[in-house]
């Protein structure tokens, strides 16, 4: 199972773009990269998922280089409400029950300041 490494914490200011990088050197061929956001006392919330190159949705972008050994979650123009913990997960979404195989690390605690 691929292990991920992320910065423990990051600070930013309102209106800035925030990039959180995750390392996953042992990513397997069938593994996808998934990011979740978690606010205090709430369950995690899916943000974005990708396999290679770039994925964009209404919330964020995910950049994955060709070797797939890392990925970067990009949050454009953050606001105070983006203050949360962000988890990077690597796993195979094709097999049944894939989510049970995901290893959740400590995540990155993002603090957005006014």
Find out whether 78 and 16 touch, Cβ atoms under 8 Å. yes
Q: Work out the number of other CB atoms within 10 angstroms of the CB of residue 1.
A: 11
Among 12, 49, 61, 74, binds other proteins (CB under 8 A): 49
Looking at the DSSP bridge assignments, the partners of residue 46 are: 36
Give least dist CB 50 to other proteins, A.
Answer: 11
Whether residue 61 contacts residue 77, with contact meaning beta carbons closer than 8 Å, is answered with no
Convert residues 82-111 into a mask of x (bound to other proteins by CB under 8 A) and - (unbound): -----x-----x--xxxxxxx-xxxx----
Which of 5, 25, 45, 65 binds other proteins (CB under 8 A)? It is 45
Nearer to other proteins, 13 or 46 (CB): 46
């Amino acid at each position: 199972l691929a292990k991920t490494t992320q910065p423990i914490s990051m600070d930013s200011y309102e209106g800035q773009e925030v990039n959180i990088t995750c390392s996953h050197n042992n990513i397997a061929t069938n593994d996808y990269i998934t990011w979740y956001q978690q606010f205090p006392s709430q369950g995690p919330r899916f943000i974005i998922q990708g396999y290679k190159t770039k994925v964009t949705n209404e919330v964020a972008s995910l950049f994955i280089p060709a070797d797939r050994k890392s990925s970067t979650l990009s949050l454009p123009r953050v606001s105070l409400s983006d203050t949360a913990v962000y988890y990077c997960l690597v796993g195979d979404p094709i097999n049944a029950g894939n989510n049970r195989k995901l290893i959740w690390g400590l995540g990155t605690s993002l603090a957005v300041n006014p």
